[in-house]
């Protein structure tokens, strides 16, 4: 069992406050709408490189971060209503961490190669640090089992194939190497699923935080 440190516990306490529930839900819904329209809108309409819109069958795999911001809203409501949606919580938690880390890695790499630090980049970095926090929080709220991890692994392997096998990966500035972001996201799929699987095999909560359910 892992113990989250004090700053994370304080953040988790905020996420569990009833008076902040609608604020948290609203911020995630705004992130879902703005992210889908602003960052992924052209991808849906004309394709990532303007070569044609992707098949509707692939749409669910395209807006990675906005999708998981929305899924957290559903998971958050499910937790507050004491729903036993553990497979869904596992997929959502891993996705929040995976794509949150991906985006933070992208911006840090982009700035490291000499790009200017802009308000857009700072806002997106902070927002995706929030996604990572939400994912870790979600992992404190349920007991994962191997079957939940297998569902998550299947989903993200398929998602990675759509992104980098079919070329539907998110737009990012060309100064950041494609190979870096590709292998980063693929490795995150396996590392995160392996981590949760290891702790599931120990039959322990993935993480332990104040107020978490056993």
pLDDT for position 183: 96
Mention every residue, 6+ apart, whose C-beta is less than 8 A from residue 185. 98, 102, 160, 163, 164
Q: Which two tokens stand for residue 214?
A: 């056993």
List CB contacts of 178: < 8 A, sequence separation 6 or more: 169
Which of the 8 DSSP states describes residue 174?
A: T
pLDDT tens digits along 4-36: 566 666 677 777 777 788 999 999 999 999 999
| Phi-psi label, residue 49: left if phi above 0, alpha if psi -120 to 50, beta otherwise | alpha
Strand partners, 208: 3
Rounded to whole angstroms, what are the CA distances from 190 to 77, 121, 149, 195, 206? 28, 27, 10, 8, 16
pLDDT tens, the chain, 214 aa long: 345 566 666 677 777 777 788 999 999 999 999 999 998 988 888 777 666 788 899 999 999 999 999 999 999 999 999 999 999 999 999 999 999 999 999 999 999 999 999 999 999 999 999 999 999 999 988 888 999 999 999 999 999 999 999 989 988 888 999 999 999 999 999 999 999 998 888 765 555 544 444 3
Q: Is 3 helix (H, G, I), strand (E, B) or coil?
A: strand
Give 176-180 contacts, CB < 8 A, sequence gap 24+.
176/106, 176/109, 176/110, 176/113, 180/109
Q: Count the Cβ atoms, other than its own, within 10 Å of residue 151.
A: 17
pLDDT, position 1: 37
The overall pTM is greater than 0.85: yes
């Amino acid at each position: 069992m892992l113990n989250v440190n004090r700053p994370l516990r304080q953040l988790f306490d905020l996420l569990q406050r009833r008076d902040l529930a609608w604020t948290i839900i609203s911020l995630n819904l705004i992130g879902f709408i703005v992210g889908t329209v602003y960052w992924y809108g052209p991808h849906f309409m004309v394709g990532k490189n303007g070569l044609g819109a992707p098949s509707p069958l692939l749409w669910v795999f395209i807006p990675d971060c906005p999708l998981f911001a929305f899924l957290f809203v559903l998971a958050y409501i499910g937790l507050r209503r004491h729903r036993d949606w553990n497979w869904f919580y596992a997929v959502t938690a891993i996705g929040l961490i995976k794509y949150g880390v991906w985006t933070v890695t992208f911006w840090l790499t982009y700035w490291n190669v000499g790009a200017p630090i802009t308000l857009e980049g700072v806002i997106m970095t902070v927002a995706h640090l929030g996604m990572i926090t939400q994912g870790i929080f979600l992992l404190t709220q349920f007991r994962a089992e191997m079957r939940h991890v297998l569902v998550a692994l299947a989903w993200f392997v398929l998602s990675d194939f759509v992104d980098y096998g079919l070329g539907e990966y998110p737009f990012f500035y060309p100064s950041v190497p494609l190979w870096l972001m590709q292998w980063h996201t693929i490795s995150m799929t396996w590392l995160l699923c392996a981590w949760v699987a290891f702790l599931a095999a120990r039959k322990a909560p993935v993480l332990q935080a104040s107020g978490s359910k056993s």
